[in-house]
Structure 1
Amino acid sequence: MRHPQPNIADARWPADPDRVAIVLPGGGYTPARPLLHLARNVLFGHGWTVQELWWAPPTTDEDERAAWALAQATAAVEAESARRVLLVGKSLGTFAAPLAATRDLPAIWFTPLLFRADVVDALAAASAPTLLLGGGGDWSWDPRLADDLGLPYLELPGADHGLEHPDDPVRTAENLVRVTRRVNEFAAAL
């Protein structure tokens, strides 16, 4: 479902108003898709208020999309009055990694765009708890680089950019269980 405005906080599940997780979707991966839906449920279960952004990037130019996503994430963070903010981003949403690094915000990054120097540099500068989740068959994932960053990560062998196996729904479901467990462990430690 596309919304007329690019940055709509469509869903907010109140738990603790002093702890807000902001979900930053991918370019074509909405908060209703499995990875972000399950992350939301895990965070809600740990007492976080969850704000989901629903957006449609206004351009296909990669640098313009990066600037746009970072601006949307910055506006969402600046609109929050919570003492603690957690960023949860998928693909396009990982363009907010510089925001997390400069503001010392914890983050969960699904399929981070590790081919982008701005994302990698921000991840390397992260000092708050940060979790990376990627697929071994994902064009945006680089396991050596993920390892070099020194951040905790979960790599799912053979998984694509959605952390799925399109030809094997059972294996995809198993991936979702592994991801959900890892996000739960991360959230419990925050």
Structure 2
Amino acid sequence: MTFGGAPTRWEPSGESRGVALVAPGRAYSPSAPLLEFTRRALLQHGFTVQQIWWDTTTRRDDDPEQWVRRHVADAHAAEDADRVLLVGKSLGTRAASYAAERGLDAIWLTPLLVDPVVAEGIAANPGTQLLVGGPADELWDAAVARELADAGCTVLEVADADHSMAVPSDAVRTVGIHLEVAQAVEDWLSQA
């Protein structure tokens, strides 16, 4: 499958240990750095990766959570795998309740923790979860992140990171943050 000529599915070099569905952000595509590094780590750890590409201009007045759930459910229904892992970035984290209902392990990059529906979905999920964010992100709630960590989620909070996991005025620090995130994903996948 392709999107605009770019592949949307990758297979690991050996036998697949499951499928990772990648739900991007509103303006953060699956090929953007955080999701690209995550895709590479997933492949390295034996996961098939299926990216979900969406056109948010088609959302109109639809409820964002229902809109994301519909896309994730369609991608999930197309898979015949014993293990499915969900990766969500920003808007894609609105699939947290979907993941919780199915007990899916998940990686949440810059989850919308200020939204109680997203936070409650993450809290209700019996699966293993990694949350990544920073207090310079107005959509990250550090107190909620601590509660989720206390409840068993693995949490990486990068002190100076914004919603893009960047420091807008510092390119080198931004690269360093992306390295921290990639290492956290790698460590989490090594234990998942």
Give the TM-score, by structure 2 length.
0.90
Distance in 2 between residues matched to 1:65 and 1:133, nearest whole Å: 21
Partner-residue secondary structure (3-state), 2:87:
strand
Match of 2:171 in 1: 169
- Corresponding position of 2:133: 134
Report deviation, 1:14.
1.0
Alignment of 1:74-93 (within 5 A): 74-93=73-92
- Within the candidate set 3, 11, 26, 1:14 is matched to 11
In structure 2, the CA distance between the partners of 1:72 and 1:108, relative to structure 1 (3 Å rule), is: same
Deviation at 1:59, TM superposition (A): 2.9
Is this contact kept in 1: 2:165–2:177, CA < 8 A?
yes
Are 1:23 and 2:22 an aligned pair?
Answer: yes
Deviations 1:88-127 (A, max 9, x none): 0000100110111110100000011112121111111111
Task: State the partner residue of 1:183.
Answer: 185
Q: Which residue of 1 aligns with 2:32?
A: 33
Q: Is the 8 A contact 2:90 2:112 kept in 1?
A: yes
CA distance in 1, matches of 2:36, 2:51: 10
Alpha-carbon distance in 1 for matches of 2:176, 2:139: 21
Matches for 1:59-98 after TM superposition, within 5 Å: 59=59, 61=61, 64-98=63-97
Give the TM-score, by structure 1 length: 0.91
Q: Which runs of 5+ in 1 are unaligned?
A: none
How far apart are residue 60 of structure 1 and its match?
Answer: 5.5
Letter in 2 for 1:175: I
CA distance in 2, matches of 1:189, 1:141: 25
1:117 and 1:67 mapped to 2: Cα distance? Answer: 15
SS at match of 2:71: helix
Q: Deviations over 1:2-56 (max 9, x none)?
A: x68xxxx941111244510011000000011100000000010011110111111
Question: Residue 42 and residue 18 in structure 1: after superposition, are their counterparts in 2 closer, same or farther (change >3 A)?
Answer: closer
Q: Which residue of 2 aligns with 1:44?
A: 43
